[in-house]
Amino acid sequence: MGIRAIPLPGHTPGHTSYAIESRGQKLLVWGDVVHVAAIQFPDPSVTVEYDNDENQAEADRERIFSDAAKSGY
């Protein structure tokens, strides 16, 4: 229960997402991790010029997508 910060620095230095949990429910606020959902959900390796570190941004998307799929949110 509570709010947990999740560092996702690939988009911009210091970019952070937040997991908010209460009463068995979870909300993940991930900001600009995904720029074009129709493209980046099926292929998280696609980056855009707004990503500060393309390799890190790809790794961040893969990690956060995997966690969402595994955890069911």
Each residue's pLDDT tens digit, 11-52: 888 999 999 999 988 899 988 888 888 999 899 999 888 888
In this predicted structure, the answer to whether residue 72 has a pLDDT above a threshold of 90 is: no
pLDDT at 58: 92
List of residues 6+ apart from 45 with CB closer than 8 A: 58
Calculate the alpha carbon distances from 14 to 1, 53, 70 in Å: 24, 12, 25
pLDDT at 17: 92
pTM score of the predicted model: 0.79
Quick: pLDDT tens for 47-69. 888 888 999 999 999 999 998 89
User: Cα separation of 48 and 34, whole Å?
Assistant: 10
